[in-house]
Structure 1
Amino acid sequence: MTADRPVLRDLLPAELRRSWVVDGTCPDLDLYSLFRARQIADLHRTAVLDAKGALCYTALDRKVRCLATGLRDLGIREGDVVGVQLPDNRNAVIADLALAALGAVALPFPVGRGILEAECLLRRAGAVAVIAAVEHRGLHHAADLLTLARALPALRHVVAVGPGSAPGGTVPWPDLMRRDPRGFVPARPDPDGAARILVSSGSEAEPKMIAYSHNALAGGRGNFLASLIPDAAPPRCLFLVPLASAFGSNGTAVTLARHGGTLVLLDRFSPEAAVRAVREHEPTHVLGVPTMVRMMLERLDVTGEPLPAPTALVLGGAPLDEATAAAAAKAFGCPVVNLYGSADGVNCHTGLADTVPPADAAGVVAGHPDPRVAEIRIADPETHAALPDGDIGEIISRGPMTPLCYVGAPELDARYRTPDGWVRTGDLGYLDADNVLHVVGRLKDIVIRGGANISPAEVERELRAHPQVRDVVCVGVPDPLMGERLAACVVVRGPQAPTLDALGVHLAARGLERRKHPERLLVVEEVPLTAAGKPDRIALRARLAADVPPVRHVLPEVPPLAQAG
């Protein structure tokens, strides 16, 4: 390891990790070797369906080897971290597999993420290169990332992916794709070594990065999808969420490398495009967040035309309500699977047995934990001791999909991992007598807007730099479409209160992407405090509910990110 590269240490006992290889739970192969075996087994099976059409496994593999050759010529080596900021199309898949073939560690983050967050990710991960779009929906990621090169000594290359001309100083993607792949020899990295870094905004002021091994992705996460494929046939998965999200990590590594399936991709989500993709490509699995499906249901109500029934509609990233689940099951004509998961290393779902997932007084339940994916226990939040069935405590998780560690953040390892490797989710729940997981609340305070985690602490920190803001507390307010929206409760500095638009301009100038901007503004004389002296967020939510003005919609209604794992 170089001085700039964080050490990615496995926090699970080594003998436990190897036991899942011995019993066949994990394949004990790196991701590219798994993909290559799938390619050899069915040379002309369609691997990707995107706006350019179909791409078969053999054509995809050739492109992967071309890029891997070009990246190796740039000096990318096994263990190097490389960022990827591309829209959901074949290029994102090519980049993912090429990095796996080199034994490098991919750090994907979705298009639309601001330069402030990108700088934080690339710096803390010690990334030596980043592959980014020249232009996407008015944003110029490659040019923006090039400006970071001076501030990030480890960042040696920015690879610019068109359409559009590569900015001066970047490496044009076509130059790499023209390399001769015939002499390329793939690396053979340790299957228990790092393959990918998942990004979660979580409840921290800065985004969390979590390192996953080849076995944790293809094995643990691969077993999750396997449980939703009743006939073991290669799946055809429509991903409504970004491949660069935690939920999207079930794309290249799981759908292609583990199961030899087909990825159906949209450059960006819109309900019209998603409905059209279901009709045209007849996916076996549709993966998204509840907000996306609510939008699709609105379009289906207008047309009234039935959809070809998938095997499963898999919804995660935000709480699923009973009304949405029932309406989706009827409209899609298949079981709706409620997925409880996160980038941090937890996964539990309701499976295919019920068309509409069961519910309790708190809402839709999380389902039966699968030890081939992640064992789940309920623990005392302070001592981590296991609690009896029926007792409410913190949900903790450990299993084949458990990540290695947090990246460049030993304080997060200390906070969220127990000494024997269990992941602390910060969520409250209980296991009933039938071993069904029920999620009842959160220890940590985050706002989940359309499946995207927003850290109030991060937004508060930036808002406090506004000249008209003396103090601020950000809280989530319920919303029937997005699940939650962010409200800023502001104590004013000076005679005049800032407007919501002025706060948005300020946050944009400080590099905070629009998905994190508040959509409600409440001016208060002072921040109410609890008995412990902390901001009383419950009281502020009550104030917002009592005011009951219409929510100020300043952001697009398209969920930009899904964190579910």
Structure 2
Amino acid sequence: MTVTLPDLLPAELRRSWAVDGTCPDLDLYSLFRARQIADLHRTAILDAKGKLCYTALDRKVRSLAGGLRRLGVGPGDVVAVQLPNHRNAVIADLAVAALGAVALPFPVGRGAVEAECLLRRAEAVAVIAATEHRGQTHAADLVPLLPALPALRRVVSAGPGTAPAGTVPLRDLLRTDPTGFVAARPDPDSAARILVSSGSEAEPKMIAYSHNALAGGRGNFLASLMPDDTPPRCLFLVPLASAFGSNGTAVTLARHGGSLVLLDHFTPEAALEAMREHEPTHVLGVPTMIRMMLEQMERTGEHVPAPTALVLGGAPLDEATATAAADAFGCSVVNLYGSADGVNCHTGLDHKVPPTDRSGVVAGRPDPRVAEIRVADPESHEPLPEGQIGEIVSRGPMTPLCYVASPALDARYRTPEGWVRTGDLGYLDGNGVLHVVGRLKDVVIRGGVNISPAEVERALAGHPAVHDVVCVGVPDPLMGERLAACVVARGGERPTLDDLGTYLTAHGVDRYKHPEHVVILDAIPLTAAGKPDRAALRHRADEERHATEPARA
């Protein structure tokens, strides 16, 4: 049985974007194939194995698609992919699209428990996983799930080493003769990919996107950051299997005919080396990664060729980081506000450093070719006038079809007219610029008073002794929660709680919002998707707090 993925947007609205040319109205593999035919030997991928051109990539895609078809994968089937940033991930993505099937990528590093949840709910018929990656054996770990998941028929193991028992080696499938493969031609408005969001739910949210929503809506986002028609060369510091990484295969390659520069694991040293060697036009990452790269550049005095833009999303960007990055990299820094749920807005190339307001870096001007954005009353969903704070809602060419196997999420986060409720609070100013001020739920409640961790993070980011900071709530028997600041210190300085409090007071942050515990870290831990791991930080802060004196009342 194939999972049902209905489109919650009005059909006539979805079609209108194809008719007016906003979306290309072609499936992802057909778009990629047209790019391959137009420039046979353009470089498609630069990874640890070297260069791979469009024609060589297409042969591998067709071989894998033929091999998967022999295993019984057909149109509408869900195929999961758990691979690092490597050509195999791109080959798998395009092969699934060529079959008219639906890709479900999720990053390496996520364990079998979470994988089982994703595979079960999506009714995946196959999963392609790494034989070994940085000490983890994902393919072998997934084999025991086969008896418990009736829909799951095959585990395909990819990468060097001996294929684990019970798996099909990817290299065997890649030996399939590509000349006999005939690609499917799925409806461009049908599902192509399922994005996985960590979100705030008990289980990861899964969101289904169509070919047009990816290549059209998300493709228009990247197009707005291309100053001319030159195909982009994009260095992805985030996993291709993340929501942010969905701008890789479908957008950079299929829509724009560009090149992907891939690192199978992020380190600041490897990222800077890739920038020197491959001179990407666009570097896509999260602010924490850029701060780590800036620290490396400060330590070594090294320089890299200037790209067109650093595109930073996935976590709040502060003014200090944006300014330092613009100076060090010599390019525009783009603040990207977006999520897997279906919202996108950015500050563009007009500003070398993104504009700021009292709340920090602004989100930018919404682009209706990507997503129209409104601010609505959280209860009535009625639009609010400019300047008034409410819930940010979004609807446009990149709007997803639905949440996967979760009518409850559809009911909670989608309106009857198809608008996506983001759960974010913000306002539109008189110039139509979006300002994000916080989350409806992302608050620390101390003694009945709400504190926004994002507000405190933005303020502390400017402290001269703070290189990076994430604020989290920790449980407290008296106050319910207290705020902890997890800090990566700059240089040899170790800011104390009093140092942070004095700085916050000087910068107008009310006393009740000040952190009551500070944790000094060597680096901010990241999730498999490349975002700050707030769960790990809460655990660390809670442990340290219990090991020291009780926090002040």
Identify whether the pair has TM-score above 0.5, normalized to the shorter chain: yes
Are positions 1:21 and 2:18 aligned together?
yes
Helix, strand or coil: the match of 2:392? Answer: strand
2-structure distance, mates of 1:483, 1:188: 48
| 8 Å Cα contact 2:482-2:516 kept in structure 1 | no
- Aligned residue type for 1:95: A
Structure 1 equivalent of residue 412 of structure 2: 415
Q: Is 1:550 paired with 2:519?
A: yes
In the alignment, is the contact (CA less than 8 A) between 1:236 and 1:261 conserved in 2? Answer: yes
Displacement of 1:59 after TM fit? 0.1
**Alpha-carbon distance in 2 for matches of 1:112, 1:325:** 29
AA at the equivalent of 2:332 = P
User: Which letter maps to 2:286?
Assistant: V
Q: What is the deviation of 1:367? A: 0.3
Displacement of 1:114: 1.3
Higher relative CO (Cα under 8 Å, sequence separation at least 6) belongs to 1
Gaps of 5+ in 2: 446-452, 461-465, 486-510, 533-553
Hey, what's the Cα distance between the residues in 2 that align with 1:319 and 1:563?
10
Of the structure 1 ranges 294-303 and 333-342, higher mean CA displacement relative to structure 2 is found in 294-303
Which residue of 52, 77, 80 corresponds with 1:80?
77
- 1:372–1:400: 8 Å Cα contact kept in structure 2? yes
**Distance in 1, Cα, partners of 2:526 & 2:271:** 12
- 2:215 partner letter: A
Shift of 1:488: 4.5
Against the structure 1 CA distance between its residues 184 and 545, is the aligned structure 2 distance closer, same or farther, given a 3 Å change threshold? same
Question: Can you list the C-alpha shifts for 1:277-323, whole angstroms capped at 9, x where unaligned?
Answer: 00110000000000000000001112223321111110000000000
Is 1:560 matched up with 2:546?
no
Change (3 A) 1:128 1:483: farther
Aligned equivalent of 1:354, options 351, 354, 363: 351
Does the aligned pair in 2 maintain the 1:107–1:197 contact within 8 Å? yes
1:280-291 alignment, distance < 5 Å: 280-291=277-288
Asked if residue 148 in structure 1 is aligned to residue 134 in structure 2, the reply is no
Q: Which residue of the partner structure matches residue 363 of structure 1?
A: 360
Task: Specify whether residues 371 and 174 from structure 1 end up closer, same or farther in structure 2 by C-alpha distance, changes over 3 A only.
Answer: same
2:208 equivalent in structure 1: 211
Give the alignment partner of residue 163 of structure 1, picking from 150, 160, 164.
160
CA distance in 2, matches of 1:345, 1:563: 18
Q: Does 1:264 align with 2:232?
A: no
Q: Give 1:190-339 correspondences, 5 Å limit.
A: 190-339=187-336
Would you say 1:399 and 2:382 are equivalent positions?
no
Matched residue, 2:384: 387
Cα distance change, pair 89–395 in 1 and its aligned pair in 2 (3 A): same
Q: Distance in 1 between matches of 2:409 and 2:146?
A: 27
Supply the AA of the counterpart residue of 1:560.
A
Question: 2:133 & 2:118 partners in 1: Cα distance?
Answer: 20
Instruction: Give the secondary structure class of the aligned counterpart of 1:149.
Output: helix
1:347–1:393 Cα change, 3 Å:
same
Cα RMSD (Å) of the superposition? 2.1
2:519 counterpart SS class: coil
Change (3 A) 1:540 1:257: closer
Greater Cα shift, 132-141 or 542-551 = 542-551
Alignment-derived partner of residue 107 in structure 2: 110
**Offset at residue 95 of structure 1 (A):** 0.2
Q: Partner of 1:136 in structure 2?
A: 133
In 2, are the aligned partners of 1:128 and 1:157 still within 8 Å (CA)? Answer: yes
Q: How many residues align?
A: 492
Is 1:181–2:178 an aligned residue pair?
A: yes
Greater CA drift, 91-100 or 476-485: 476-485
| Cα pair 1:379 1:385 within 8 Å, conserved | yes
Q: Deviations over 1:418-445 (max 9, x none)?
A: 1100000000000000000000010123
Q: Which runs of 5+ in 1 are unaligned?
A: 448-455, 457-474, 490-523, 529-535
Instruction: Tell me: CA distance 1:150–1:442, structure 2 relative to 1, closer, same or farther (3 Å).
Output: same
Counterpart selection for 1:435 from 432, 436, 444: 432
2:225–2:349: 8 Å Cα contact kept in structure 1?
yes
Shift of residue 232, structure 1, vs aligned partner = 1.5
Q: Which residue identity does 2:382 align to in structure 1?
A: A
Change (3 A) 1:386 1:289: same
Counterpart position of 1:513? none
Q: 1:163, CA displacement in angstroms?
A: 1.2
Residues 476-513 of structure 1, C-alpha deviation per residue, up to 9 Å, x if partnerless?
99585554265652xxxxxxxxxxxxxxxxxxxxxxxx
Counterparts of 1:375 and 1:136, CA distance in 2: 40
Q: Give the secondary structure class of the aligned counterpart of 1:391.
A: coil
Indicate yes or no: 2:33 matched with 1:36. yes
How much identity, in percent, do the aligned residues show? 74
Q: Assess if the C-alpha contact under 8 Å between 2:471 and 2:484 holds in 1.
A: no
Q: Distance in 1 between matches of 2:467 and 2:357?
A: 21
Alpha-carbon distance change, 245 to 162 in structure 1, aligned in 2, over 3 angstroms: same
Aligned residue identity for 2:12: E
Conserved in 1, the CA contact under 8 Å of 2:46 and 2:262? yes
Q: Give the match for residue 484 of structure 1.
A: 470
Q: Is the 8 A contact 1:31 1:100 kept in 2?
A: yes
One-letter amino acid of the counterpart of residue 177, structure 1: L
Aligned to 1:58: 55
The whole-number CA distance in structure 1 between the counterparts of 2:401 and 2:106 is 19
The one-letter code matched in structure 2 to 1:304 is G
2:501 aligned partner: none
3-state DSSP of counterpart to 1:381: coil
Aligned AA (2:69): R
* CA distance in structure 2 between the aligned counterparts of 1:356 and 1:60, rounded to whole angstroms: 37
Contact 1:89 1:267 in 2 (8 A): yes
Counterpart amino acid of residue 166 in structure 2: G
Distance 2:74 2:97 in 1: 11
In the alignment, the residues of structure 2 paired with residue 317 and residue 446 of structure 1 have an alpha-carbon distance, to the nearest angstrom, of: 18
- SS across alignment from 1:199: strand
| Counterpart position of 1:464 | none
8 Å CA contact 2:104, 2:194 repeated in 1: yes
Distance in 1 of aligned mates of 2:81 and 2:177: 23
Q: Indicate conservation of the 8 Å contact 2:484/2:515, yes or no.
A: no
Which residue type is aligned with residue 307 of structure 2?
P
User: How far apart are 1:110 and its partner, in Å?
Assistant: 0.2
C-alpha distance in structure 2 between counterparts of 1:194 and 1:376, whole Å: 23
| TM-fit CA distance, 1:560 | 3.3
**Relative to 1, partners in 2 of residues 1:80 and 1:183: Cα closer, same or farther, differing over 3 Å?**
same
